[in-house]
Amino acid sequence: AAAAGVAKLADATNSMFLLFAGALIFQMQLGFALLVTGAVRNKSAASVMLLHVVAPCVVGLCYFLFGFAMAFGSTPDANNPVIGSTFWALQPRDAFDSFSGSVSLALVWFQFTFATICATILLGAVSERATFVASIFSMVVVGGLAFPTVSHWLWSEYGWLSYGKLSGRLFGSGAFDLAGSGVVHVTGGAAALIAVILVGPRVGRYDEATRDSFSAHNVTLVCQGTFVLWAGFVVFNSSSVMVITESFVAAGRCLINTLLAGCTGGLTMLAISRLVSSHYSVLDVMNGVLAGLVGICSSCSIVLPYSAILTGSVCSLIFFFCEKAMLRFQIDDPVSAASLHLGAGIGGLLLTGFTAYPPYLRDAFPGRDSYPGGLFYGGDAPGALLGAQVVATISIIALVCLLLTPVLLGLKLCGVLVYSEEEQLMGADEAIHGGAAYNFNAEETSADLLTTW
Amino acid sequence: AAAAGVAKLADATNSMFLLFAGALIFQMQLGFALLVTGAVRNKSAASVMLLHVVAPCVVGLCYFLFGFAMAFGSTPDANNPVIGSTFWALQPRDAFDSFSGSVSLALVWFQFTFATICATILLGAVSERATFVASIFSMVVVGGLAFPTVSHWLWSEYGWLSYGKLSGRLFGSGAFDLAGSGVVHVTGGAAALIAVILVGPRVGRYDEATRDSFSAHNVTLVCQGTFVLWAGFVVFNSSSVMVITESFVAAGRCLINTLLAGCTGGLTMLAISRLVSSHYSVLDVMNGVLAGLVGICSSCSIVLPYSAILTGSVCSLIFFFCEKAMLRFQIDDPVSAASLHLGAGIGGLLLTGFTAYPPYLRDAFPGRDSYPGGLFYGGDAPGALLGAQVVATISIIALVCLLLTPVLLGLKLCGVLVYSEEEQLMGADEAIHGGAAYNFNAEETSADLLTTW
Amino acid sequence: AAAAGVAKLADATNSMFLLFAGALIFQMQLGFALLVTGAVRNKSAASVMLLHVVAPCVVGLCYFLFGFAMAFGSTPDANNPVIGSTFWALQPRDAFDSFSGSVSLALVWFQFTFATICATILLGAVSERATFVASIFSMVVVGGLAFPTVSHWLWSEYGWLSYGKLSGRLFGSGAFDLAGSGVVHVTGGAAALIAVILVGPRVGRYDEATRDSFSAHNVTLVCQGTFVLWAGFVVFNSSSVMVITESFVAAGRCLINTLLAGCTGGLTMLAISRLVSSHYSVLDVMNGVLAGLVGICSSCSIVLPYSAILTGSVCSLIFFFCEKAMLRFQIDDPVSAASLHLGAGIGGLLLTGFTAYPPYLRDAFPGRDSYPGGLFYGGDAPGALLGAQVVATISIIALVCLLLTPVLLGLKLCGVLVYSEEEQLMGADEAIHGGAAYNFNAEETSADLLTTW
C-alpha cells in the first residue's frame, strides 16, 4: 500500500513539474515578443506583438491535432524511426490516457511550449516585410511539421537519431540533445535563415541614405525580452530531464551549467564588443548571453561545469562571426535570429560530441554495455557520438529546407510573401492592422512637448 | 511509518503546489496593470498603475481579516449554506492551523490571489474618470465582500450552489465552476458593468470632435499584459484542482483544455476581425484569446478537448457581440472588461451545462449515486446541471448588484464618484498624483527630436 | 523499500522546490532592471539595462568559483565560524556531490539568485554617473565577497552569528534572519549608501535650474518593476525555509506574513503620501510596499500575522524618514535603494528581536533546551535575540564598509569611478554604449507628430 502511495505521489510530482515548467517556458513567448518588438521600428510594433500572440494559437491547435502524434505517437506495437503514427488529436482517448503513465496530458502541454518557441524563432527574422499570412504559414510548417518530426528523431525512444533509442542506435551511439540546441534552435534557426533569404531585406535596409533609420526602436524592450528568455531558459533546460523524481540530480547539473554558459556567453561578448567597437554594445551582450544559453541546451545535463564555460564562450564567438557574415552578405535579420539560433545551436550540438561526460550518460541511461561520450574523454567508441551529432545537424537542416522552401516559394508565386514597398514604408501597423502602436496625446498635458516628455 | 511519511510528503507537495501556483497567479496582477495602462491615454498611465498596486494591498488586508472567513470559514459544527462564520482574521489560531490539513495558510494565500483578480477587473472599466477613492471602495466591496460570498456559494462544500456540496445539492446537482468563470469573472465583470454605467463615459468619449483621441496609448503594453495573463490563466485553471496529489490527471485536462480554448478564442476573433473590419485588429485578437480563457475556467477539468474548442469559439463570439452592444449604447469601458469577464464568463458558466462530461465528474467526486452532467451527454437528471448553472449566474449578478450599487450611489451623492471635467482633461496623473508618467528629456541627446526618437 | 522510496521522493521534491524558487527569484533581476531603468533619465536607459544583465554574468561566475565555497563550504571536519573553506569551484566533485544530500547543485543555483540580488541593489543607487567598470567592480565585491561572507555568518550552521549554529551561539541565542533582511538587504543597502556617498550626486542634481529634469523618465516601468519584485519576494521569503518537505507549515506562514507586510507597507505610505504631499504619490506607494517586503524577510517564518502588519508599517515609516534625511543631506540615490534596503532592512532585522514568536522557533529548531525569542514574549533569555540582532546589523555594515570603501577609493584615484561632466550630460547610452535606447521614426507615419503619438 505504501509502495502504491509512493508511486502515485511520484506521478503527481512529475505532473506538477511539467505543469509549472511549461507555464514558465510559455512565458518565453513574451520574451520573444518583447525582444523582437523592441528591435524593429515603431511602425511595426503592434504587428510584431500580434504575430507572437497568434503563434501559440496556431501551433497549439496544430500540436493538439497532429504535432504530438508525429513526435511521440509511438507504442511498442506501432512505431517507426521516422515519425509517430498514433494519438492523432490525442485519440483513442483510452489508449492515450494510459500512455506514458499519468503525466500524458501534462506532457502534451509541456512539449507544446517547445513547439511554440521553435515556430516563433523565425518571426523576428522576417519581421517588417513578410506578410501576416506568410508568417502564419511558416509557423504551421515549422511548429506543426518540422519540430514534431525532428523531436521524434531525437527525443522519442524509437527515433532513428536518438541516444535514447531502445536498440540499433546510429553508430552505436545516437545523437544527444537534451533540451534542443538541435531540435528547437537549429530547426527554428534554419527556418529563419531560409526565410530571410527568400523574403529579402526590408526596403531601404542597405541603402546609404536610409540604413541608419533601422535601429531598434526601444532597446529597453529588447533587454526586457532577454531577461524573460534567460529566466525561461533555466527552466527550459533543467525541466528537459522530464521525470524529476528520477533525474533530479541531473536537473541540478542543468541549472549550474545553464547558468555558467549564459554568464560566459555574455562576458565573452562584452569583451569582444569592447575590443572591436570600443563600445560596450548593449544588444551584443544580450545576444552573447542568449548564444551561451542556446549552445548549452544540448548538453546541460551531461557535462562538467568547465565544459559549460567553454560552450558559452565558443557559442558566443560563433554568434559574433555569423553576424559578421550576415552583414557581409547583406542578409537582413532584424533580431539576429539565424546567427543566434542556427549558429549557436549548431555550435552546441557539435560541442556535445567533444564534452559529453560518460559517467553522466551512464546515470541517464542505466544498464547499457557502452556509453559513447565526448572526444575529450575517449572512452567507448570515440567519435561515434560526434559523428551522430554531425549527422543530426545536417539532417535537421535538410528537413527544414525541404519542408519550408516550397511553401515560401509558393507564397512568392502567389505574390503574398512580402509586403509592397508602400506597405513597408507606411508600416504594417497602419497598413494592415488599422492603427499605430503608440498614440501619445500631448496637447492637453503640456504646451511644450520638448521639455515635458 | 512509511505511510505517515507518504502522507506528510503529500501535504508538503500540496502546499508547494499552492505556493507556486499563487505566486504565478499573482503575476496576473501585473498583466492587468499592463493591459489597462496600455489601453488608456498616457495622461492616466501612472494613476492606473498605482491602482493596480493598491488593489492587492486593500484586498489582502480584507481577505485576511474577513474574506477568507466568509468564504471558507466553516467547520462540520459551524456552517451554513450562505456564508462562512469562523476563522475571522484566521483565529482561533489552533483551530485554524488544523483546518484543511496542513495546507491551511498556503490555501489562504492561494485564494487571496483569486480575490485580488476578481476585485481588479473593474479597475480597467472605470479608469480615467472614477476617483481614486471610489475605485478603492469598489475593490473592498468586490474583493472583500462579493467574491468571498460567491466563493462560499460555489466552492465551499457547504455552499448552497456548490456541486461539491456534501448533501442537499440544488436540483440534485449543484453548479460546477472549477476555476471561476462565475465566481471570479461574472462577479468581477458584473461589478465592472454596474460601475461603468454609474460613472458614465469619459468626458468627450462620444463627441464627434474628440472621440478619436481615446486610442490605446501603447498597444505593446496591452499585448504584454495579454501574454502575462495568458501564462497566468494556465496556472489559474490547472491549479484550481487544489489537491494536486489526488487530482493531477484532472490538472492535465485543465492544461490542454485551457490551451485549446485560448487558441480557438484568438483564432475565431482573428477571422471575425478580418471579415468585419478587413484588418487584423491587434486588440480584438488579444481579447479573443482572453475570452476563450475566461470561458473555459468553469469547465476545464471536466470536458473533452472538443468542448474546449467549442467553448473558446463561442465565448469569443459572445465577446464580439457584447462589444457591439456596448458601442451601440455608448457605454464607455476602455478595456472591454464587462464584455470580456461578464460576457465570456456567463458563456462559460452556461456552456458547462451542455459540455460537462459525466465520467470526469465521477473522477472528481467519487462515491456518489448520480452525476448530473452536460445536456450533450444526457445521463443522470438531464438539465439539472444546466438549471443550476443558470441559477448561479443570476444569483451572482444579483448579489453584486445589491452590494455595489448603493456604495457607488452613495459616493455619487457625496460628489466623490467621478473626476471633474478639468481633472479629466488634465489627466489623473498630473491632477491627483503629482506628475506625468512619461518624462523624456530630449534637448541634450539631440537637436532634432523628430528624427531621433 | 518504501521508506527509501519516500526519502528519494523527498530529495526530488526539495530539488524541484529550489529549482522553481530560484527561477522565480531570478525574475526579480528583471524587476530591478525595470524599476531602475524607469527611474533614471531616458539617456541612461540602455546603460542601466545592460548593467542589470551583466550583474548575473559576473556574480554567477564569482559564486561558482568562490562565493558558494565562502558561504557554505564547511563540513563537520573543516569549518570555522567566519568563512567557508572548501568546495572552491564546487570541487572536489565527489565530496561536493554528497554534500547536503542530493539537492547540492540546486542549492548552489538557489543561493546564486540571492547573491545576484544583493549585488544588484547598488546599481540603481549609483546609476547615471558611476562608470561601467566601477559598477562591475562593486558587484564583484558585494556579490562575490560580502554576501557570501555574511551568509556564512548568519545562514551556515557554523556561522558565528547564526541562530541555527550547532553550538556556542552568540548570547546563547544567535541572530535570526530567515530570508535576508540583513544578509541580502542590509548588505546590499549598506553598499549602496557607501557608494552613493563616494560617487557623489549626478551633475546638476541639486542645482536650482536643472533639478527638475531628474524625474523618472517612465513611471510605468517603475511600477512594472515593483510588481515583478513583489511577486518575487513572495517566493524569495517562503522558499527560504529551504527544505519544503519538512518546513511546509513555516512556508505557509511566510506567505501570509509577506503578504500582510507588503500590504500594510503600501497602505501606510499611501496615507503618509496623502497627508504630507496632498497627492497620492505613485512612487512613494511602490516604495512603501517594497519597504514592507524588505522588512519582513528576516522574520516571516516565525512571527504572528499581527507582527507582520506592525513590521510592514514600521518599515514603511523608516523608509519615509530615511528619504527625508537623504534629501536633507543632498545625497543622490535615484531609486532610493539605500533608504529602502538599508533602512527597512535594519528595521526588519531589529524588529525580529521584538516579534519572534518562541513556539515557531521551536518548530524550526526542534530539540533544544531554550528558545530565546522576541522581547514582546519574554520567555527564555529575554533580550538575547535582540542583542544578537543588533550585533548582526553592526557587523554586516562594518564588513561591507571594510570591503567596498578601499575598492571605490582606489577607482577614484585611478579616475575611473565617475563619468565626466560631458559624458553625464550626453548620457551613458550615447557616450559609452554607442547609441540611444529610444529611436522613434516619426516622419513616415505622420506629418504631425504632436497629435499622433
Q: What is the pLDDT of residues B319-336, one digit of tens each?
A: 999 999 999 999 999 999
Please state, in angstroms and rounded to a whole number, the distance separating the CA atoms of residues C302 and A311: 44
Per-residue confidence (pLDDT) for residue C413, from 0 to 100:
97
Closest CA to A266 of A279, A248, A284: A284
Q: Would the CB atoms of C440 and B434 count as touching at under 8 Å?
A: no
Quick check: B444 pLDDT over 50? Answer: no
pLDDT in tens, C103-162: 899 999 999 999 999 999 999 999 999 999 999 999 999 999 999 999 999 999 999 999
- pLDDT value of residue A220: 95
DSSP A194-207: HHHHHH-PPTTTT-
Nearest chain B residue to A131, by CA:
B280
Q: Does C132 touch chain A (CB under 8 A)?
A: yes
Q: Which of A30, A61, A93 sits opposite B227 (nearest CB)?
A: A30
Which helix (H) or strand (E) element contains residue C404? helix C384-413
Average pLDDT, chain C: 94
Beta strands in B1-145 (DSSP E): none
Check whether C453 has a pLDDT greater than 90.
no
Q: Which residue stretches of C239-379 are H helix?
A: 244-277, 282-296, 305-328, 337, 344-355, 358-364
What mean pLDDT is reported for chain B? 94
**Minimal CA–CA distance to A304: which of C105, B181, C305?**
C105
pLDDT, one tens digit per residue, over C231-274 is 999 999 999 999 999 999 999 999 999 999 999 999 999 999 99
User: Measured between CA atoms, how close is B406 to chain A, in angstroms?
Assistant: 34
For residues B143 and B54, the answer to whether their CB atoms sit within 8 Å is no
Chain segment B363-403, per-residue pLDDT in tens: 999 999 999 999 999 888 999 999 999 999 999 999 999 99
- pLDDT tens for residues A2-35? 889 999 999 999 999 999 999 999 999 999 999 9
Number of A/C CB contacts below 8 angstroms equals 208
Instruction: pLDDT band for B450, please (50, 70, 90 cuts).
Output: very low
Provide the strand spans (E) within B299-404: none
The predicted pLDDT at position A347 comes to: 98
| pLDDT given at position B94 | 84
pLDDT for the residue numbered A212? 84
Distance CA C186, CA C199 (A): 20
Residue of C nearest to A234 (CA): C23
Output phi, psi for C345, to 5 deg.
-65, -45
Interface of B with C in 194-253 (CB under 8 A): 213, 221
Q: Residues of B with CB below 8 A from C449's CB?
A: 450
**Percentage, residues of chain A above pLDDT 70:** 97
- Assess whether pLDDT exceeds 60 at residue C98: yes
Say if the Cβ atoms of C42 and B105 lie within 8 Å.
no
A278 Cβ under 8 Å from any chain B Cβ: no
Q: State what percent of residues in chain C have pLDDT above 70.
A: 97
Cα A396 off chain centre by:
13
Residue B424 Cα distances to A94, B39, B204, C377, angstroms: 60, 16, 10, 52
Flag whether pLDDT at A444 surpasses 70: no
CA distance C372 to C379: 7
| Nearest to A235, CA basis, from A122, A356, A113 | A113
B window 372-431, beta carbon within 8 A of A: 425-427, 430
Q: Which residues contact C155 (CB under 8 A, 6 or more apart)?
A: C71, C72, C162, C164, C177, C183
Inter-chain contact B264–A61, Cβ cutoff 8 Å? yes
CA angle, residues C215, C270, C318, in degrees to nearest 5: 85
Cα–Cα distances in Å, from A138 out to A58, A404, B16? 11, 7, 40
Nearest-CA distance B342 → chain C (Å)? 26
CA angle, B442 as apex, B440 and B445 as ends, to 5°? 125
A270 interfacial to chain C (CB closer than 8 Å): yes
Give the per-residue pLDDT at B442.
58
For residues C293 and C301, what is the distance between their CA atoms, to the nearest angstrom?
13
Q: Measured between CB atoms, does B7 come within 8 Å of chain C?
A: no
Chains that touch B (3 or more CB pairs under 8 A): A, C
Mutate to test the interface with B, among A13, A53, A223 (most CBs of B within 10 A): A53
C270 contacts C383 by C-beta, under 8 angstroms: no
B116 close contact with C: CB closer than 8 A: no
Tell me which of A448 and A295 has the higher pLDDT.
Answer: A295
Contact predicate C310/C338, CB 8 Å: no
Question: What is the set of domains in chain B, with CATH numbers?
Answer: 12-424 (1.10.3430.10)
B105/C253 touch (CB, cutoff 8 Å), yes or no: yes
Write down which chains contact chain C via at least 3 CB pairs under 8 A. Answer: A, B
Chain C, window 23-52: residues with a beta carbon less than 8 angstroms from a chain B beta carbon: 24, 41-43
> How far from each other are the two terminal CA atoms of chain C, in whole angstroms?
68
Q: Which of B6, B244, B264 sits opposite A6 (nearest CB)?
A: B6
Q: pLDDT category, C442, cuts 50, 70, 90?
A: low
- pLDDT at position A379: 82
The lowest-confidence range among A7-21, B98-112, B406-420, C73-87 is B98-112
Q: Please name the residue of chain C whose CA is at the shortest distance from the CA of residue B58.
A: C263
What cell was used for C332? Answer: 543622490
Query: Residue A409: pLDDT above 60?
Result: yes
Exposure class string for C259-288: b at 16+ Cβ within 10 A, else e = bbbbbbbbbbbbebbeeeeeebbbbbbbbb
Of A246, A256, A440, the CB nearest to C105: A256
Interchain pair A432, B227: CB under 8 A:
no
In angstroms, the separation between the Cα of residue B186 and the nearest Cα of chain A is: 25
**pLDDT above 70 (res C445):** no
All chains having 3 or more CB pairs closer than 8 angstroms to chain A: B, C
Residue C450 has pLDDT above 90, yes or no: no
Which residues of chain A lie closer than 8 angstroms to C9, CB-CB? 6, 9-10, 13, 245
Residue B435's nearest CA partner among A451, C210, A452 is: A452
- Burial of A282 (C-beta count, 10 Å sphere; 0-12/13-18/19+): buried
How buried is residue C27: exposed, middle or buried, by Cβ count under 10 Å (0-12/13-18/19+)? buried
Rg of chain A, C-alpha, whole Å: 22
CA distance C270 to B136: 12
d(CA B395, CA B81): 14
Q: Which residues contact A6 (CB under 8 A, 6 or more apart)?
A: B2, B6, C2, C5, C6, C9
Long-range contacts of range B354-362, CB-CB < 8 Å, 24 or more positions apart? Answer: B354/B386, B355/B299, B355/B303, B355/B304, B355/B307, B355/B310, B355/B311, B356/B176, B356/B299, B356/B302, B356/B303, B356/B385, B357/B302, B357/B303, B357/B304, B357/B307, B360/B250, B360/B253, B360/B301, B360/B302, B360/B303, B361/B163, B361/B176, B361/B302
Which amino acid, residue B126?
A: V
Alpha carbon distance B119, B124 (integer Å): 11
In degrees, to the nearest 5, what angle opens at C-alpha B44 toward C-alphas B42 and B50?
125
Residues 6+ apart with CB under 8 A from B433: B46, B47, B50, C279, C280, C281, C282
pLDDT of B14 over the 60 cut: yes
Q: Which amino acid belongs to residue C259?
A: L
CA distance A402 to A409: 12
pLDDT of B264 above 70: yes
* Ramachandran bin of C203, using left for φ above 0, alpha for ψ from -120 to 50, beta for the remaining angles: beta
In this predicted structure, the answer to whether residue B404 has a pLDDT above a threshold of 50 is yes
Sign of CA dihedral A326, A327, A330, A331: positive
Looking at A239-304, list the stretches that DSSP marks H as alpha helix, in order from N- to C-terminal side: 244-277, 282-296
The amino acid occupying position A438 is Y
pLDDT of residue C206: 92
Angstrom CA distances, C422 to A58, B445, C42, C47, C129, stand at 51, 12, 16, 16, 11
Neighbours of A335 (CB within 10 A): 28
- The ipTM assigned to this model is 0.96
pLDDT at C83: 97
pLDDT exceeds 60 at position C165: yes
> What is the rounded CA–CA span in Å between residue A270 and residue A267?
5
Nearest to A274 by CA among C180, C120, C132, B151: C132
pLDDT reading at A445 higher than 60: no
Look up residue A147 and give its amino acid: F
**Residue B82 in 3-state DSSP?**
coil
How far apart are the C-alpha atoms of B431 and C216, rounded to whole Å?
Answer: 18
Dihedral in degrees, nearest 10, Cα atoms C202, C204, C208, C210: -110
Q: Is the pLDDT of residue A181 over 90?
A: yes
End-to-end CA distance of chain A: 68
| CB-CB neighbors (< 8 A) of A111 in chain B | none
DSSP string, A381-439: STTHHHHHHHHHHHHHHHHHHHHHHHHHHHHHHTT-SB--HHHHHH-HHHHTSSS-SB-
- Only one residue has cell 526565410, namely A195
Taking the CA of residue C267 and the nearest CA in chain B, the distance in Å comes to 7
Q: Do A220 and C132 touch (CB under 8 A)?
A: no
| Residues C15, A228: C-beta atoms closer than 8 Å | no
Sign of the C-alpha dihedral computed for residues C418, C419, C420 and C426 taken in this order: negative
Q: Do B249 and A6 touch (CB under 8 A)?
A: no
Contacting B residues, span 282-311, partner chain A, CB-CB under 8 Å: 282, 285-286, 289, 304-305
Pull the grid cell for residue C113.
539568485
Across the interface, whether the CB atoms of B13 and A15 are under 8 A apart is answered no
